[in-house]
Structure 1
Amino acid sequence: MTEETVPTAAKKTSFWLDFGPLLIFFAAFLYWRRNHPDEALIWAAGVLAIAATFALLISWVRHRTLSPVLIFSTIVIGGSALIALLTGDKRFIYMKPTFLNALYGVVVIGGVIFGKNVIKLLMGSAFELPDDKWNVLAIRWAIFFFAMAILNEIIWRNFSEDFWAGFKVFGFLPLTILFTLTQIPFLNKFGEMKTD
């Protein structure tokens, strides 16, 4: 493997560790939906919790480090699946993305207010930006997180369970990628990528 292919391989691994559990969730949902439609979402959420835990362990074995965000989101995934399984209440599963995105939005805004810019902490090793521009970027991300929380609420309350499950896997990730891409002109205009 050449030096040029190492980052590509790492990106592919990271993609599958992030997106793989969601694909497993959707496959499990479709499988159980055929014979047990009322319980499909709860069991698929349990499968997602297990898959997310395995992804966390694989990430630890490969990198010997774990991001607090990944740990926290895995705990929330497992907790919401467990509570839904114990209570039979699917709302804990439906509202998990709302809770996570709203919390991320609050943390990012709080970071700007208290001078601990979370976006800069996450991306500062890759980009150089003036502090005021980091704050602008953070506010944009916070608005995006709040919008995703609102979108999740609209979808689960107004559309079918099948639509929500599909959108959770094939809607939220593309929207996140699209939003990330829309921030590239801002980064190119006001900052530069670090080369070392």
Structure 2
Amino acid sequence: MAHRNVPQWVKSALELGPVIGFFVAYLYLKDEVFTIGGTEYDGFIVVTAGFIPVILASMGVLWWLTGHISRMQIVTAVLVVVFGGLTVWLNDDRFIKMKPTMVYLLLGGVLAIGLLRGQSYLRVVMGELLPMEQEGWMILTRRMTAFFFLLAASNEIVWRTQSTEVWVYFETFVLTGALFFFFIAQAGVIQKYSTVEED
């Protein structure tokens, strides 16, 4: 299916909407306990159960509108289904809390394999968005690899040592914001090695 252009705000809404929805639903239901089939589930488990179909529906709409879904989005959806499903099935919130760790370890691991082969897999994904010289891509890839491993370690520390509420805030705002500020911090490298000719 050919790629179709849609407004950036639509794509952002579909990508971030489920995450924000998860956060808002958690705030409303965090102190509730639901009895389903004779088993008690706290609000966090119920919200996780609702998050799975919502993120799948969001990805379906994104694919329908654009004709394209990135590999990262597919991997994230699979991990949400697996770890979210385990969370609900076993009534154990630890599994969904592990999901960001698995995502960042996977991303960092893939980039690290590329670096060991002298390649930047990041360039394969983002080359059209950020035209740069190979040296610039290697620098950015090394930094992002380390950054992903740092995020994975941070998530492990937070969910293992803090309350569920603290983790929800951390996962919703800190991890998301960290990626945004990381790319802002790389502006110097991107500008230095850019291959875009100025008029």
Task: Please give the TM-score of this superposition, normalised by the length of structure 1.
Answer: 0.88
Match of 1:20 in 2: 17
Counterpart for residue 165 of structure 1: 168
User: Corresponding residue for 2:31?
Assistant: 34
RMSD: 1.9
Letter in 1 for 2:169: G
Does residue 1:120 correspond to 2:123, yes or no?
yes
1:48 to 38, 47, 51: 51
Aligned length: 188
Q: Which residue identity is paired with 1:90?
A: D
In the TM superposition, residue 10 of structure 1 has moved relative to its aligned partner by 2.0
Give yes or no for contact 2:108–2:146 (8 Å, CA) kept in 1: yes
On the 8 A contact 1:46/1:78 being kept in 2, the answer is no
How much does 1:177 deviate?
0.4
Q: 8 Å contact 1:126–1:194 — kept in the other structure?
A: no
Q: Does residue 88 of structure 2 align to residue 85 of structure 1?
A: yes
Shift of 1:134: 1.0
1:152 to 139, 152, 155: 155
Q: CA deviation at 1:114?
A: 2.6
Q: 1:175, CA displacement in angstroms?
A: 1.0
**Distance of 2:47 and 2:124 partners within structure 1:** 34
Q: Is the 8 A contact 1:155 1:164 kept in 2?
A: yes
TM-score, L = length of structure 2: 0.87
Q: Secondary structure at the match of 2:59?
A: helix
Q: Using the TM superposition, give the Cα deviation of residue 28 of structure 1 relative to its aligned residue in structure 2, in angstroms.
A: 1.8
Rate the CA distance shift 1:113–1:88 in 2: closer, same or farther, 3 A.
same
Q: Measure the CA separation in 1 of the matches of 2:191 and 2:50.
A: 40
Of 62, 66, 76, 1:73 maps to 76
Aligned to 1:94: 97
CA contact (8 A) 1:105 1:145 kept: yes
> What corresponds to 2:62 in structure 1?
59
Q: Contact 1:111–1:118 (CA<8 Å) still a contact in 2? A: yes
What SS class does the counterpart of residue 191 from structure 1 fall into? coil
Separation in 1 of the partners of 2:186 and 2:82? 33
Q: CA deviation at 1:102?
A: 0.8
* Equivalent position SS for 2:86: helix
Amino acid at match of 1:160: S
- Deviating above 3 A after TM superposition, structure 1's stretches of 4 or more consecutive aligned residues are 192-195
1:185–1:84: structure 2 CA closer, same or farther, 3 Å change rule?
Answer: same
1:137 to 135, 140, 159: 140
From 4, 7, 18, the counterpart of 1:10: 7
27-36 or 61-70, larger mean C-alpha shift: 27-36
Conservation of the 8 A alpha-carbon contact between 1:127 and 1:194:
no
Give the letter aligned to residue 138 of structure 1: T
C-alpha deviation, 1:181, in angstroms = 0.6
Select the structure that is richer in helix: 1
CA drift at 1:93: 0.9
